[in-house]
Amino acid sequence: MREKSTTCLEKSQKKRRMISSTEALFYSRIITTPIGDMIAIASDNAIVYLDFIDDNETPQINNQNHRLLIRLEEELGEYFAQKRQLFTLPLSPNGTTFQKAVWETLLKIPYGSTLSYAEEAKMFGNPKATRAVASANAKNPISILIPCHRVISSNGSIGGYSGGLWRKEFLLSLENKTKNKKT
């Protein structure tokens, strides 16, 4: 009986070692912005997550000084100071093949511009996929850098935004002011 349980324990430990040796390391940091704190997560090679923290949340994060997270904080600061229109960080959002393709389409929307969900679906290459495209936008794990805030309803209303409509309004206004300054 004792021999069998030792064997099970050894198998469990071996499995844990195999899993931990193949898992990527992730680094996290809280970044303060004019529209609220955000949690940022990076792998060794890319930003994988950036989203707003709800006011009632207090995540237990040990701020890490990973080079990508430091650069992200700098680039977001420049963006909010109206000195940056394009982010230069590598991105690696987690999602389905369809979602990732939709998020690639979002990256093509110019700073200070907006598209309707229908126009985005057309740009994506499937004009009948408006609802599926909108659903993928709602699951965007990298706010601001993958600019789903630039997509509005066909009737011109602001549409939705997982970070809150007031934040979407702020971001669109910020980009519009910067765009108008340049012209």
- Which sequence positions are flagged as catalytic? 148
Residue 102 tokens read as 């939709």
CA distances from 161 to 50, 122, 166, 177 (A): 14, 20, 9, 20
DSSP codes, 50-67: EEEPPTT----------H
Phi, psi of 127 (to 5 degrees): -60, -20
Looking at this protein, which amino acid is placed at residue 13?
Q
For 102, residues 6+ apart whose C-beta sits below 8 A from its C-beta are 120, 124, 132, 133, 136, 137
Count how many residues are written for the chain. 183
